Copies of this chain bind each other. A is one copy, B any other.
Amino acid sequence: MAKQYEGPVRIKDIADRAGVSTGTVDRVIHGRGRVSEENERKVKEAIASLDYEPNILARSLARNSNFEIGIVIPKFSTDSFWMSQVNGIEKALKNIRDFGFSIRFLEFDDQVHGDMLKHLTTIQTEKFDGLLVAPTITDDAHVFLNTCEEQDIPYMLVNTNLEREDDLLVGYVGQNSFQSGLLAAKLLSLVTSNKGVLSIFHMEKEVDNSEHMLQKEKGFISFFKEKKRKPQDVLVHRLPIMTTTTNFKNSVKKFLKANPDVSGIFVTTSRIHFLSKVLKKLEREDIVIVGFDLIKENVAALNSYEKMFLINQNPVLQGYAGLMSLFDFLLKKKAAKRLQYLPLDVITKENLSAYLDTNSTIFEHYK
């Protein structure tokens, strides 16, 4: 009773079996109407009994349609983290270009509140088929995404997750910020042998408007709640972004004078390289530090500061997976997983070179 293999079923086979033309079958498949009930029934029966599945290659080729995806991320020309994201995005693009996908960058300055909104008119005027958005500034992002909803444009979030009830929200890809805070706490705890006081540095202007930083803080603190250490053992310190290096150095100096028993510091951004330099100058290299992202300044810091860990968010993979999810959503009409968390890679001076060697190659051939 095994079904005999007759090669892939084509639309022509359906047409023959139902006694109609391929055009009619096509209209049934796409619900374009203009088919008598009688024929529609026959065609559906034929599709079911022959177990027809359209050839996705021929479909894409024939449709000959273009999908334009807008990439809404912080300006990347000067930022190696976002440059890596673009890297991943372009790798994904290479894979899906033949399917008619093209991209357009809509950069904004994430240090300027409201700058993201300058792209609102572009979104409204041109018709994008999808957007890849890094909602780094929470309130701006919500305004922006509300407009996407109005324009009926599906969007994918990267790097920072926002909770929104929205059918057009394809999903989120990035790190689990809460988990990364937890991991940072574990690392500091392990290496300092639970001695001294630990601290969180938020080195960023708008902390309360940065969802991922808040999540990292929560994760960090929750580790100590579990371990029954007193909450007083954790200091949260908010530093505005440095206007001058001297400025920053002085505020760290003041902080250490007030808290001489600090044994570890968790920096919730990629700006940890500023801290490592200052600690060296202040001769406080006994302090263990944990920060984020394998940008080049941090690679240098890792090599010169002994007690330092980096947690990498794998920006290349983020960009790659982000665009691919939109592809899946638009072409296969397949919902992406709502939350795609990427691995938290721990990098030390020791495994740095192996990490750099290997991670560049894993996308070589994704199709």
* A interface with B by C-beta (< 8 Å): 8, 55-58, 60-61, 95-99, 176, 179, 182-183, 186-187, 190, 317, 321, 324-325, 327-328, 334, 336-337, 340-346, 350-351, 354-355, 357-359, 361-362, 364-367
Knowing A96-B367, A183-B351, A337-B364, the reply to whether A358 touches B176 (Cβ < 8 A) is yes
Tell whether, in the assembled complex, residue B361 and residue A337 are in contact, meaning their CB atoms are under 8 Å apart: yes
Tell whether, in the assembled complex, residue A354 and residue B358 are in contact, meaning their CB atoms are under 8 Å apart: no
* Residue in B closest to A364 when the chains form the complex, CB atoms: B337
* Complex Cα spacing A343 to B190, Å: 24
Write out the residue numbers on chain B whose beta carbons fall within 8 Å of the beta carbon of A366.
Answer: 324, 366-367
Write out the residue numbers on chain B whose beta carbons fall within 8 Å of the beta carbon of A328.
Answer: 364-365, 367
* Residue in B closest to A325 when the chains form the complex, CB atoms: B365
Looking at chain A's contact residues, the main secondary structure is helix
Knowing A98-B55, A367-B95, the reply to whether A358 touches B336 (Cβ < 8 A) is no
Tell whether, in the assembled complex, residue B176 and residue A321 are in contact, meaning their CB atoms are under 8 Å apart: no
Tell whether, in the assembled complex, residue A346 and residue B351 are in contact, meaning their CB atoms are under 8 Å apart: yes
Write out the residue numbers on chain B whose beta carbons fall within 8 Å of the beta carbon of A98.
Answer: 8, 55-57
* Complex Cα spacing A327 to B366, Å: 10
> Would you give 23 A-B contacts (Cβ < 8 Å), ordered by A?
A55-B98, A56-B367, A57-B61, A57-B98, A61-B61, A95-B367, A96-B367, A176-B357, A183-B351, A183-B354, A186-B350, A190-B350, A321-B362, A321-B364, A327-B367, A328-B364, A341-B358, A341-B361, A343-B355, A343-B358, A343-B362, A344-B354, A345-B345
Write out the residue numbers on chain B whose beta carbons fall within 8 Å of the beta carbon of A317.
Answer: 362
* Complex Cα spacing A365 to B96, Å: 12
Knowing A57-B98, A61-B58, the reply to whether A336 touches B354 (Cβ < 8 A) is no
* Residue in B closest to A179 when the chains form the complex, CB atoms: B354
Tell whether, in the assembled complex, residue A327 and residue B97 are in contact, meaning their CB atoms are under 8 Å apart: no
Knowing A328-B367, A355-B343, A357-B341, the reply to whether A350 touches B183 (Cβ < 8 A) is yes
Tell whether, in the assembled complex, residue B327 and residue A342 are in contact, meaning their CB atoms are under 8 Å apart: no
Q: How far apart are A80's CB and chain B's nearest CB, in angstroms?
A: 19
Q: How far apart are A130's CB and chain B's nearest CB, in angstroms?
A: 14
* Complex Cα spacing A186 to B95, Å: 38
Write out the residue numbers on chain B whose beta carbons fall within 8 Å of the beta carbon of A350.
Answer: 183, 186-187, 190
* Complex Cα spacing A187 to B98, Å: 45
* Complex Cα spacing A82 to B95, Å: 28
* Complex Cα spacing A344 to B95, Å: 26
Given contacts A179-B357, A336-B365, 18 further A-B contacts (CB under 8 A): A55-B61, A57-B60, A58-B61, A61-B61, A182-B354, A183-B354, A324-B365, A336-B364, A337-B361, A337-B364, A340-B362, A340-B364, A341-B358, A342-B358, A343-B354, A344-B355, A344-B358, A345-B345
* Complex Cα spacing A58 to B176, Å: 40
* Complex Cα spacing A362 to B321, Å: 8
Write out the residue numbers on chain B whose beta carbons fall within 8 Å of the beta carbon of A362.
Answer: 317, 321, 340, 342-343
Q: How far apart are A103's CB and chain B's nearest CB, in angstroms?
A: 11
* Residue in B closest to A324 when the chains form the complex, CB atoms: B365
Write out the residue numbers on chain B whose beta carbons fall within 8 Å of the beta carbon of A361.
Answer: 337, 340-341
* Complex Cα spacing A325 to B354, Å: 22
